[in-house]
Structure 1
């Protein structure tokens, strides 16, 4: 039992599961991008309706912010999360600076996802199915990582702070649900049609 607490098996398993789901979503978006490049008139499998589609997202400038399709970021980024998850389950110990870098990467990914959510609702007025799947795993991954960095001593060396963060881990599912509720509210603000489509999608 002591070894399991030290290794934080639950957190590692979550990173593995989230990375597999996130990578799969990024892979599907990448394939759809290839299809649209080969045939701009092709009907993509993710285009379920006028509002629920990924075509508009992939063809927009927001879909290639850094000069290449955003899904490529997901393909590489989620692999890093997978490797970290396996390492955590295996009990590999990383120095404090390494965990700090991992936290910065997760925070940057979360900020990018938050920006994309805003752009999707208020600029593109669409709901991307594969993007939505990414949101579902990215948000809990960010929250659990912040809490984990607090309990493993990355954010503070004080034992009391680490113990407090350790107790917070049990609340991350609820925090994730609240974040999802915020997304629903954003969809409502973007328009009634979007909120209806969002509820049908999830």
Structure 2
């Protein structure tokens, strides 16, 4: 389905919604990071329990893997899908190179999130779930799925009209793919929790 024949309204609206949520989550994380720098003993607003908090993640090397706080990346990069979403609603048309660059950026974000999820669950220095991080995961995953489908249906990945039409029919299945991805993460969390419980019991007995 060529982008010249249809305006991707639903996709554009989702980009805007995801960007607002992602940017707000990054802003909250950066606020918590600055508060901890000012007062290391302060309890963050996102502290729920020993297992659900932001403090451990923000103070880890994974929380500043590029040499600065990860939320700064979110504050910067979430502006791109926001601008793209608004532009699409306004009827903008982008060249193939732009979509390729945009797709590469979304793919990087998805890969980074997958890595952060694995670190949160399995890294010895973490083992906690960060609420605002999870909000970022929640919008990045469907954004990646939707973008890959959209770049197929708008001709960025292929010039085959048949493949584009199939991708267009695949877009309504993105929510289901997202739910399955969430379910997989929840399963991994539960399995990791059982592993940790087994380790504690082993230490006791």
Shorter-chain TM-score bucket reads over 0.9
Q: Residue in 1 aligned with 2:167?
A: 165
SS at match of 2:31: helix
The runs of 4+ residues in structure 1 deviating greater than 2 Å are: none
Q: 1:34 to 1:193 in 2, by over 3 A?
A: farther
User: How many residues in Structure 1 have an aligned counterpart in Structure 2?
Assistant: 194
Q: Residue in 1 aligned with 2:96?
A: 96
Q: CA RMSD in A?
A: 1.9
Give runs of aligned pairs for residues 84-163 of structure 1, distance below 5 A: 84-123=84-123, 124-163=126-165
How far residue 189 of structure 1 moved from its aligned partner, in angstroms, is 2.3
Q: Residue in 1 aligned with 2:50?
A: 50
TM-score between the two structures when normalised by the length of structure 2: 0.91
* Structure (1/2) with the larger helix percentage: 1
Structure 2 CA distance, aligned partners of 1:184 and 1:119? Answer: 15
Structure 2 CA distance, aligned partners of 1:192 and 1:43? Answer: 27
Structure 1 CA distance, aligned partners of 2:57 and 2:5? Answer: 42
Residue 26 in 1 paired to residue 26 in 2?
yes
How far residue 88 of structure 1 moved from its aligned partner, in angstroms, is 1.0
Rg (Cα) greater in structure: 2
Q: Which segments of 5 or more consecutive residues in structure 1 lack a partner in the other structure?
A: 195-202
Structure 2 CA distance, aligned partners of 1:44 and 1:149? Answer: 40
How far residue 75 of structure 1 moved from its aligned partner, in angstroms, is 0.2
Q: Which segments of 5 or more consecutive residues in structure 2 lack a partner in the other structure?
A: 197-205
TM-score between the two structures when normalised by the length of structure 1: 0.92
